[in-house]
Amino acid sequence: NAGVTQTPKFRVLKTGQSMTLLCAQDMNHEYMYWYRQDPGMGLRLIHYSVGEGTTAKGEVPDGYNVSRLKKQNFLLGLESAAPSQTSVYFCASDGGRTSKNIQYFGAGTRLSVL
């Protein structure tokens, strides 16, 4: 079982460039999330989705967009990358009661914006 897969694992961008991070889960989970992790800050929620075709803002949504066109995929986009978006990004999925409300995480994407 692959679980939650994030691509790419590493990326370096120049300020102003755009990119999309892909998250795929094979557990048929309804809920999906994007977090960023910065030193000393824990994980902070960027955007999330409670089902196919839905998205909602989390704690730190500015500068990011998301889409959930298919249940198994959750995309995170940076339209114009800024150095402040240098971080490690994690995707997670949750099946609600079917998964005992446990979030399962991908391996993370380390992004550097120069």
Partner 1 sequence: AQTVTQSQPEMSVQEAETVTLSCTYDTSESNYYLFWYKQPPSRQMILVIRQEAYKQQNATENRFSVNFQKAAKSFSLKISDSQLGDTAMYFCAFMSQGGSEKLVFGKGTKLTVNP
Q: Which residue matches tokens 């114009």? A: 80
Q: Choose between 13 and 34: whose C-beta lies nearer to partner 1.
A: 34
Q: Choose between 17 and 67: whose C-beta lies nearer to partner 1.
A: 67
Q: Least Å distance between CB 94 and partner 1?
A: 5
Q: Choose between 17 and 112: whose C-beta lies nearer to partner 1.
A: 112
φ, ψ for residue 50, nearest 5 deg: -100, 5
φ, ψ for residue 101, nearest 5 deg: 60, 30
Site for partner 1, rule CB under 8 A? 31, 33, 40-45, 48, 50, 56, 58, 88, 90, 92, 94, 96, 100-105, 107-108
86 and 18 Cβ atoms separated by less than 8 Å: no
CA–CA dist 12, 55 (Å, integer): 26
Q: Least Å distance between CB 16 and partner 1?
A: 27
